[in-house]
Amino acid sequence: MIVVKDLRKTFKLSRQQKRELKNTPGVRADGTVDAVAGISFTCQPGRIFSLIGPNGAGKTTALRMIATLLKPTSGSIEVAGIDAVKHPQDVRRRLGFLTGTTKLYDRLTPNEIVKYYADLHGMEKSVFEKRKDELFTLLDMNDFAKRRIGKLSTGMRQKVSIVRTIIHDPEIVVFDEPTVGLDVITAKNIIDLIRRCKQEGKTVIFSTHIMGEVSLLSDDTAIIHKGKLIFCGAYSEFAHQMQGRSIEEEFIRLIEGAPR
Amino acid sequence: MKTTFTVFKKELVDSLRDRRTLVAMVFVPLVLFPILISISSSMLISHEKKAEKRTLRIGLVTNGNAADFREMISARGDVRLTEGITAGEGRALVRADSLDAVFVFDPAFDEQVAALDAGKVSMYHKSTENAAIERRRARGLLDEFEKKLREKRFESLDLDLSIIETVDMGDENLASTKERLAEQIGGLLPYLIIIFCFTGSMYPAIDLAAGEKERGTLETLLTSPAGRMEILLGKFGVVGLTGILTALVSILGMYIGIRQSPEIPTEVLNAILGMLEFGSIVLLLSLLLPLAMFFAGILLSLSFFAKSFKEAQSIITPLMIFIIVPAFIGLMPGMSLNSTTALIPILNVTLATKAIIAGTIDPGMFVEVYVSLIVLAGLSLWVCRWVFGREGTIFRGV
């Protein structure tokens, strides 16, 4: 489970950014801006939580704080019952993180990369071997397990990324725009993975701005805009109160109607 | 510790598979370097041989004097004589490199000699580094003539030539060949080792920090349970190790290059190889270790700060000047290790290595150099930890 309470992340702008963003709403006189401005939500185990919003809304910053890559300015995050600010390493032991921009080491093979992350997670050899065999077979990866990443296609690489993310069987899985820039077939692998995680009872949170994925996967949804949540609840609730003809239209309506 | 070793192992494999690291670490010091040594020493020796064997072009303006000298050099097979020129023409011909030297005898030369005075003669030459051998050979002709005149003069005065010796001085240089060579070329060894240590660390440092950041693999690594310090130490170890390995490979390359160089005098060869003896290498290595760590800390800090591989390259490459200059100052004659120079990074390594090679290292100074290097290495790691711990740096441009 992930419990986020009143989460805020304030960034200090560089001199150039201050010049460029002068008089922009949200930018304070002291040159600071809230990327995430006091958001709260809960992601339940066995359910998929989608965080949607336009570019620059604060999705990645929020997910990076959950994954303990960034420290919140204020607020709290609890991941699997652990305080993410006080015990970041313990949180990372229970978490898998996959982003669409994640790249792999070109000079290593899938076998080596997966083993590397298993070692970093302190997995026992026998447990690792069993889990690796299972995942490699499931994703049909045995044929290219010993080839260097640099020689693999985008689809093959994405499969390696998937295995790398879940090799340690994490309770919590965070996906930050995982299908961005991928072709339909490769994106399907990710969609299948997200569903599989749900079936296994994991807590899943994913960010996207592809509305089709939201309707396909979400149990719970939050819409983030300019660092604030303008909707947070069950997806069924969102679909029920929709005034637009499609999710896209409803999304745009909510964004445009949000206070500036 | 286990996690640090896991990171270290992976980074080492990754780096050793990088062509750029391999070129800097193996190809340049082990292949290119010996070839360069071999070619340059062959060229130097062949230039010297040519200069020794070449027919000397001598201009002679005797003004009707020094017939014996004319006869003496005419009889030599290695001298081509140009006569019938004036002193001014002789000067012009030397300047134009048409002659190696011109001897101009005073019109009263013979009379001066007959009157037991010193006969006046001028030698015009162009004394540049390239023409040093020719100048020595031309001067040798005059010395030979002077010797003959002296013998003749002593004979006419019925004197024994030995009375000219008023002091029988025994001159014995107690400096060993090793010491003399350490002074002359001993500085070159640390100079090269320092440069190779730095260039060897450069590519892994750029690749493992800025490169990882640019490729997006660093973010993934940071989501693993590995602590920042554990990750940093793994990378730090690999960068330091590649620096040390490159320096060691360069010593091996130098050894191969010297061994393959033709006609290096045995005495010089033995002295140079003596510099590379086990004890010196162990002491050198002990200095190299904190130096490589110091380099690793600086390089990784700058590389983490950069947004991309390219930016890291453009930040780090100019840094070479701060490595080359102090290393070069250490090559200068008269520079030696003292309590001040022992604290100046890089210069202290050059000077300490020179002293190690010469076998004159003062243990107190060695400890001072060593402690200052360890402090600097620790400081650079601390800076690196600070840079790596900053969110703004790690996610700069990501």
- For residue A165, the chain B residue with the least C-alpha distance is B220
Residue B266: pLDDT over 60: yes
**B168, part of any domain:** no
CATH number at residue A87: 3.40.50.300
A·B CB contacts under 8 A: 66
Question: Are A97 and B220 within 8 A, CB to CB?
Answer: yes
Q: Is B217 on the interface with A (CB under 8 A)?
A: yes
| Contacts with A92 from chain B: Cβ below 8 Å | 223-225
Residues B257, B290: one domain? yes
The residue-averaged pLDDT of A112-124 equals: 94
Residues B196, B246: one domain? yes
Per DSSP (E only), the strands in chain A are 2-12, 32-43, 48-52, 74-79, 82-83, 95-99, 172-176, 203-208, 220-225, 228-234
Residues B220, B305: one domain? yes
Q: Domain ends where: B128, B163, B198?
A: B163
Domain with A29, as residue range(s), is: 2-94+170-257
| Distance from the Cα of residue A114 to its chain's centroid | 20
pLDDT at site B32: 80
**B172, part of any domain:** no
**A73, part of any domain:** yes
Residues B157, B184: one domain? no
Residue B76: pLDDT over 60: yes
The residue-averaged pLDDT of B74-101 equals: 87
Condensed to tens digits (0 to 9), the pLDDT of residues B15-51 reads: 888 888 788 777 787 788 777 777 777 777 777 777 7
**A179, part of any domain:** yes
**A245, part of any domain:** yes
Neighbours of B16 (CB within 10 A): 16
pLDDT at site A148: 94
The chain-wide mean pLDDT, for chain B, equals 84
Residue B79: pLDDT over 60: yes
- Hey, what amino acid is at A76? S
- Indicate the number of domains in chain B: 2
The residue-averaged pLDDT of A211-235 equals: 88
Domain with B327, as residue range(s), is: 2-41+178-394
Using pLDDT thresholds of 50, 70 and 90, give the confidence band for residue A102. Answer: low
Residues B256, B381: one domain? yes
| Size of chain A in residues | 260
**A21, part of any domain:** yes
Residues B60, B183: one domain? no
pLDDT at site B303: 94
CATH number at residue B119: 3.40.1710.10
Tell me which of A32-36, A165-169, B239-243, B302-306 is least confident: A32-36
Q: Is B40 on the interface with A (CB under 8 A)?
A: no
Q: Domain ends where: B115, B130, B163?
A: B163
Residues B118, B191: one domain? no
Residues B231, B288: one domain? yes
- For residue B10, the chain A residue with the least C-alpha distance is A116
Residues B196, B332: one domain? yes
* Greatest mean pLDDT among A26-40, A224-238, A242-256: A224-238
Of A64, A68, A102, which has the smallest distance from its Cβ to B216's Cβ? A102
Question: Are B14 and A105 within 8 A, CB to CB?
Answer: yes
Residues of chain B with pLDDT > 90: what percent? 21
The chain-wide mean pLDDT, for chain A, equals 87
Q: Is B20 on the interface with A (CB under 8 A)?
A: no
**B148, part of any domain:** yes
Q: Which two tokens stand for residue A204?
A: 């899943």
Residues B150, B268: one domain? no
**A147, part of any domain:** no
Tell me which of A76-85, A206-215, B266-275 is least confident: B266-275
pLDDT at site B216: 83
Residues B388, B246: one domain? yes
- For residue A72, the chain B residue with the least C-alpha distance is B391
Residue B398: pLDDT over 60: no
- Indicate the number of domains in chain A: 1
Confirm if B150 and B128 have CB atoms less than 8 A apart: no
The residue-averaged pLDDT of A129-150 equals: 90
**B46, part of any domain:** no
The interface predicted TM-score of the complex, written ipTM, equals: 0.87
The residue-averaged pLDDT of B322-345 equals: 84
Tell me which of B13-17, B123-127, B248-252, B334-338 is least confident: B334-338
Residue B264: pLDDT over 70: no
Residues B199, B286: one domain? yes
β-pairing, A2-12 with A74-79? antiparallel
**A112, part of any domain:** no
Residue B301: pLDDT over 90: yes
**B47, part of any domain:** no
Tell me which of A73-82, B134-143, B169-178 is least confident: B169-178
Q: Domain ends where: B113, B139, B163?
A: B163
- For residue A174, the chain B residue with the least C-alpha distance is B223
pLDDT at site B253: 83
Question: Are A108 and B226 within 8 A, CB to CB?
Answer: no
**A193, part of any domain:** yes
Using pLDDT thresholds of 50, 70 and 90, give the confidence band for residue A124. Answer: very high
| Contacts with B228 from chain A: Cβ below 8 Å | none
- For B131, counting Cβ atoms within 10 Å of its Cβ (0-12 exposed, 13-18 middle, 19+ buried), the class is middle
Condensed to tens digits (0 to 9), the pLDDT of residues A28-37 reads: 777 788 889 8
**B297, part of any domain:** yes
| Contacts with A120 from chain B: Cβ below 8 Å | 3, 6-7, 221, 224-226
- For residue A164, the chain B residue with the least C-alpha distance is B220
Residue B317: pLDDT over 60: yes
**A127, part of any domain:** no
B308 vs chain A: nearest CA distance in angstroms? 15
Find which of A11, A97, A117, A128 to mutate to test the B interface (most B CBs within 10 Å of its CB).
Answer: A117
> Distances from the Cα of A137 to the Cαs of A163, A201, B333, in angstroms?
11, 21, 69
**B242, part of any domain:** yes
